[in-house]
Chain A
């Protein structure tokens, strides 16, 4: 029995974190926020480490790893607030296309030269705008499509069918959100011919669950960063002639964050592992992990900011990039309340 990351997974994690520390410092996030750069070069760097093709079979140049590898990667990316479309193109789109047998784009996706975005709002529960299909042509709007820089999009309809469409065929409007590290956009289609990839609603759901597990892992990493920063700041900042980390009021905030966050590590690993080895538990575990991390992440994001006092509220320490990343993960692919409703249904289905 061994519950945890393998030797290979640890080595990958170590080299990825080294890369992120040197190549994706806070300054690169700030440049992105200021509109001075795109995430393209970062994504190329990650692709050169094999991240873009993590789930893609070796036959198409991918690493052919599993979801446990993917959640470990997502945790490291969250820790660095690393920009880029890992969840959308490397996990969700790669999985969907491969499973649907639409393997043509996979080689370019694994190389990081072709990005496939995810426009699943209709399938998850849309608040505004939706897409209709008539004679293999799509019309309407899809909001909050993942990856404003993608080369193509998978568009999920309310009935579970998924179409693929080249970015050049649609009107694409980037949408500003609080989180600058992941881009989203609005797609407008007007009787645009699209290619049906699969009509299997279960495949769409399985893709969605994988995205949720990745979000949980991303939040775990981002929240761990915020906890580490809070502890470091509390050991450095002095008031009343003492480091503030010696006051119980502050220590206990840190202990509460650790107490909620530490079990999430095992939770996220298990969520990844379930897709690889315990398929019947995977959907429920992914929904629970996503919703639970949304709550713990929110608590840690708020509490860590408070430990930083006024500085936490400023742009100077940049902590807010992680705060916002956690907020992004909370809402996308289903809010915690919506995901828990789904979990309840899955839970009832599993009842003996």
Chain B
């Protein structure tokens, strides 16, 4: 087992460090919004030096480097260690760009990728609907062809950044007669198109991290489709796979665990630090064991990407499930360490860590549900990881009759 990156990467690490030393002061401040000039300038600087959109071809505005997982990791490590802004990584950057590279037309790549990675074009994702969550493919927002336009009607939900977004990539039903997975198309359109209404969705944290988006006769030029009519599900699945692992990074979990340790040294009951309480220590050590397991699992995943010498499909599939549940429990311990002070929220003067413990505790419950619930994850793990069969499909008529006993009798 060799855990060093090799001396050939020392020079690269030094390059990254000297970039950070030279330009650190130019990074956006906490109150610079995602549309601020400071953010755009920083983004351009990162792309220009290859610290963002590193492998996107130059023809589409990227840095054009050959994929090198270790270099990407070194960039992440150095920026992380110095707490330097990684640049804007909205859904347009992380999810739409890879899809366009794979399935977009040359014109779409030329039009959309460069402004997206330069944070000049902000995107939101229109997938989930009130009636289509875990069963996403049952979505009903429809688009009908009228002349040269698609006419979109329906509603999306859980649309983060919709209020900032210039554009949306959106799943719509275009072939109502086709089987549900084959009737979906992937459209791109501007968020200022007439007929779009955005309503913030306040969640349990008190913030509106998400929105509802309503479409009434929204006209979209018919060329603004990625892939063919009815191919949208394939496109969407490619992106969802991209999203899941990123919701639960082990480094962040270990950072938060270190935060819990600091709290345990600082907080006390009757003058005795919580760290000296064996029950709390036991909970802490239990979570540290779990967090370490996820960290080494992550190292194994990285290694498998580089060497391609071991099968890590299962090890990758469990990350979202295990990682979000772990994080939720770490935040929970942070609250419990503080006892009643742990209840503090908002403007309470006794707040610790700017209220992050309660906030993250709730936010991670949201992440346990979002991006494929824990129950959906368990289906994926058992079906694709352990080769177990799908739950048999109930015939449609029976399924519709089931909630009402009388109609089943009839």
Contact = CB atoms under 8 A, between A and B. Distances in A.
Interface of A: 1-6, 68, 231, 234-235, 242-243, 245-248, 251-252, 254-256, 258-260, 262-267, 269-270, 273, 276-277, 285, 288-289, 291-292, 295, 337, 340-341, 343-344, 347-348, 351
B6 interface: yes
Interface extent on B, as a size class?
Answer: 35 or more
Contact of B314 (A235, A258, A340): A258
A92 to B, nearest CB: 22
A285 B289 CA distance: 9
Contacts of A347: 261, 285, 288
B1 A6 contact: yes
Contact of A343 (B285, B379, B388, B390): B285
B76 to A, nearest CB: 14
B378 A252 contact: yes
B307 to A, nearest CB: 5
A259 B302 contact: no
Contact of A245 (B302, B385, B388): B388
5 contacts: A251-B388, A258-B318, A263-B318, A277-B1, A292-B290
Given A3-B304, A246-B392, A263-B315, 11 more contacts: A3-B3, A3-B302, A4-B310, A255-B379, A255-B381, A262-B315, A270-B292, A273-B3, A341-B282, A341-B285, A344-B285
Interface stretch (B17-25, B33-41, B164-172, B293-301): B293-301
B389 A243 contact: yes
Contacts of A242: 392
Main secondary structure of the interface of A (DSSP, over half): helix
A336 to B, nearest CB: 8
The interface residues of chain B, by DSSP majority, are classed as: helix
B209 interface: no
Contacts of B288: 288, 343, 347
A16 to B, nearest CB: 18
B50 to A, nearest CB: 21
Contacts of A4: 1, 300, 303-304, 307, 309-310
Contacts, number: 165
B2 A1 contact: yes
B71 to A, nearest CB: 12
B10 interface: no
B383 A1 contact: no
A220 to B, nearest CB: 11
Given A258-B314, A262-B314, A251 B282 contact: no
B121 interface: no
A285 B385 CA distance: 28
Contacts of A277: 1, 3
Contacts of A243: 389
Interface of B: 1-6, 70, 261, 275, 278, 281-282, 284-286, 288-290, 292-294, 296-297, 299-300, 302-304, 306-307, 309-310, 314-315, 318, 321-322, 375, 377-379, 381-383, 385-392
A132 B286 CA distance: 35
A252 B382 CA distance: 7
Contact of A256 (B293, B300, B302, B378): B378
Given A266-B300, A288-B289, A291-B289, A341 B1 contact: no
Contacts of B321: 255, 259
Contact of B293 (A2, A3, A252, A292): A292
Contacts of B306: 1-2
Contacts of A341: 278, 281-282, 285
A346 to B, nearest CB: 10
Nearest to A235: B388
A246 B310 CA distance: 28
A265 B293 CA distance: 8
B293 A263 contact: yes
A263 B295 CA distance: 9
B381 A263 contact: no
B388 A259 contact: no
A3 B1 contact: yes
Nearest to B313: A262
Contacts of A348: 275
A72 B318 CA distance: 22
Nearest to B382: A251
A351 B265 CA distance: 12
Contacts of A3: 1, 3, 296, 299-300, 302-304
A67 to B, nearest CB: 11
Nearest to A230: B386
Contacts of B292: 267, 270, 285, 288, 292
Contact of A254 (B2, B375, B377, B388): B388
B372 to A, nearest CB: 13
B35 to A, nearest CB: 39
A248 B376 CA distance: 10
Contacts of B385: 255, 258
Given A258-B314, A265-B315, A266-B297, A344 B281 contact: yes
Contacts of A260: 322
A257 to B, nearest CB: 9
Contacts of B1: 2-6, 68, 269, 273, 276-277
A262 B385 CA distance: 11
Given A246-B392, A255-B381, A2 B278 contact: no
A2 B303 contact: yes
A149 to B, nearest CB: 33
A246 B383 CA distance: 9
B310 A255 contact: no
A285 B391 CA distance: 40
A237 to B, nearest CB: 12
A219 to B, nearest CB: 13
B388 A270 contact: no
A2 B300 CA distance: 8
Nearest to A296: B293
A289 B282 CA distance: 14
